[in-house]
Structure 1
């Protein structure tokens, strides 16, 4: 199809609406433009086609023979387009909402709460893909990601889900009855850290703990760090959202807190992607995070 030979879509829409309603005013209301805009589009279309399409009839307008033929074909064409778009929207709403997130966030924050979502919204299917790798939402076909960082990812929209509060924790077994209140109080103990959490290194160092002076073991994933911490193998630092359950259960002890407001877990989406299911899940996430 040679699009350069076709009149503007705006002019075609204006003419089709005016012909269907037999009124410039009604067409203007449907398309949310002015009466003058509809009239101008129709005049431009008639000039481009060198053919009269509409003429005044009483208080409205009527189609010429050529106008009636064009209006009928445009109506059929727009109906086909509308049906195609509606079918695709139905497919989008019917398919599972694809969400990428880190394994730690999935295990320690989201999954303990997902039962509430399933109960409240049985009509929405969510497909969770835990992955430590940084995925490309557009290329990899994801509707949403939950990422840790400062929210500054080029070409993406992000909303802070959990605040930048970090808890220094350790197993009660490792602490042996001690009640430390600062990181320096436990600087003599072994420490654990995930290999990829560069932001966390900055948080710790900004709190005046030199990582080069402590007994630090680096593990590949945060799930391993939390598991090792629960086993009493070292002190570790995590976003509050990941270890709060264990602290409440008494399997980890909260030593102190570190604050970095700009860091945290964010809901990340592509600009302009806002399906009904995505809105439902995002609204639920934000509500749960605030509770």
Structure 2
């Protein structure tokens, strides 16, 4: 049995997982906890930081076999892949490396980060990736970080719950487990 899976570590806790992009409305949605991306200061919500948003361009080794990408100017030769949900990733990263001139209207936009990253894995172009969330792809060699220039944004991933509803023992156990898994991944250099 693998204690890294919540249903093994806490079999008495029932999990229902949804991957909604919209901010959670605890008054309308019947959930105890949400993992939210943003500044962490939502009205009526308590939060705990899970991990910061560290971004960097990534691409497939397939693309690197046909296209040289060792200098920033070489980004002009490839498709920039954009996620609709994370539409400021490219502008933020290019501003951080002081090259906003490389941002164009060209490129391909996808409705989700998952599709954007899959297109990068397939060699379609270069995406800006969330390094923590792509650690398995990077460690497995299906994505390669480029330019050795990660950028930490002010936004992050938080676990959130309504202020007026204290966390139950089960919810607190899940938060503890979740944070321990993230800490373990960060400690392993992911």
- Give yes or no for the alignment of 1:223 onto 2:114: yes
Equivalent pair of 2:51/2:157 in contact (CA under 8 Å): yes
Equivalent pair of 2:78/2:126 in contact (CA under 8 Å): yes
1:205 CA displacement: 3.9
- 1:97-176 to structure 2, matched below 5 A, reads 115-176=4-65
Match of residue 129, structure 2, among 230, 235, 238: 238
Gap change, CA 1:164 and 1:122, over 3 Å in 2:
same
SS at match of 1:139: coil
Equivalent pair of 2:75/2:102 in contact (CA under 8 Å): no
For residues 183 and 150 of structure 1, the distance between their equivalents in structure 2, rounded to whole angstroms, comes to 29
- 1:1-291 to structure 2, matched below 5 A, reads 115-176=4-65, 180=69, 183-207=72-96, 208-210=99-101, 212-213=103-104, 215-255=106-146, 256-271=148-163, 272-291=165-184
SS at match of 1:236: strand
Gap change, CA 1:182 and 1:152, over 3 Å in 2:
farther
1:198 CA displacement: 3.8
For residues 247 and 153 of structure 1, the distance between their equivalents in structure 2, rounded to whole angstroms, comes to 32
Report the structure, 1 or 2, having the larger helix content.
1
* Greater Cα radius of gyration, structure 1 or 2: 1
1:123 CA displacement: 1.4
SS at match of 2:41: coil
Gap change, CA 1:156 and 1:184, over 3 Å in 2:
farther
1:166 CA displacement: 1.1
**Could you list the runs of 5+ residues in structure 1 that have no partner in the other structure?**
1-112
Greater mean alpha carbon deviation, residues 203-212 or residues 241-250: 203-212
For residues 244 and 276 of structure 1, the distance between their equivalents in structure 2, rounded to whole angstroms, comes to 31
For residues 195 and 211 of structure 1, the distance between their equivalents in structure 2, rounded to whole angstroms, comes to 19
**Could you list the runs of 5+ residues in structure 2 that have no partner in the other structure?**
185-190
TM norm structure 1: 0.56
Equivalent pair of 1:183/1:209 in contact (CA under 8 Å): no
SS at match of 2:16: strand
Task: Give the paired residue count.
Answer: 179
Higher relative contact order (CA 8 A, sep 6+): 2
Equivalent pair of 1:203/1:258 in contact (CA under 8 Å): no
TM norm structure 2: 0.82
Deviation by residue 1:157-194 (Cα, 9 ceiling, x = unmatched): 12211122113100111111667456444342111011
Equivalent pair of 1:187/1:214 in contact (CA under 8 Å): no
